[in-house]
Amino acid sequence: MKGETRKKMVVGAADLIRRRGVNATSMREVVRHTGTPRGSIGHHFPHGKQQLVEEALLLAHQEVSAPLAELVSRSGTVSGLRAFIEGWRHILQKSDFEAGCPILAVAVEQYIGDDGLPNPLAQQQLLDIARTALEDWQKILCTGLRKDGLPPARARRLATLIISSVEGTVALCRASRSVRPLDDVQTELEALLTSAIKTVQASD
């Protein structure tokens, strides 16, 4: 039961960060959002909001990394891209276009501590987690592209393009309340990857 309460709070925090950003996600709001006992805050997260946010980011990181790595390894990079985008399409539509990426939210906000003041040290620690997540997603795609035959530098650049394109497109979808930008980006990215892979394979 205790473990379930803790996990519920971490999942709830990640969901709120997706929707409202880091600074608008208070411990009180997490308790209200998840229906968990208020006394569980200090018990499960003795280091306060920063600890909860860190664990929410780690959860968001792994929710993408694990299935993406498995699918890219099993079925190739293009299949991994489709699943990555489909995951975002599901999140956007299910949340009525309120939810974005919690990792990106941390990357673009100045972190405000429990005392209401900017906390540069905490912000740097959260940025480190966000950077690690984004780099991990890029690494998974880069590894897949290398396996598909692309040279290291091209694979790295294309992996960076995919992550930056999809993350940016999520913002366009939220603003337009439509998945059309995501559909457009998916079409172009798939065409680009397919062409790059075929060109390399034809030259072998």
The pLDDT assigned to 152 comes to 97
pLDDT classification of 65: cutoffs 50, 70, 90: very high
Percent of the chain with pLDDT over 70: 99
- Residue type at 175? A
DSSP 173-189: HHHHTSSHHHHHHHHHH
Give all domains of the chain, ordered by start, each with its CATH number: 2-203 (1.10.357.10)
The pLDDT assigned to 2 comes to 57
Q: Over 90: is that where the pLDDT of 176 sits?
A: yes
The pLDDT assigned to 174 comes to 97
pLDDT classification of 129: cutoffs 50, 70, 90: very high
pTM listed for this prediction: 0.92
The pLDDT assigned to 203 comes to 80
Q: CA-to-CA distance for 103 and 72, rounded, in angstroms? A: 21
Cβ atoms of residues 101 and 85 within 8 Å: no
Q: CA-to-CA distance for 31 and 41, rounded, in angstroms? A: 8
Q: Which residue carries 């991990």 as its tokens?
A: 136
pLDDT per position as a tens digit, 103-115? 999 999 999 887 8
Q: CA-to-CA distance for 181 and 192, rounded, in angstroms? A: 17
Sign of CA pseudo-dihedral 134, 137, 140, 143: negative
The pLDDT assigned to 116 comes to 84
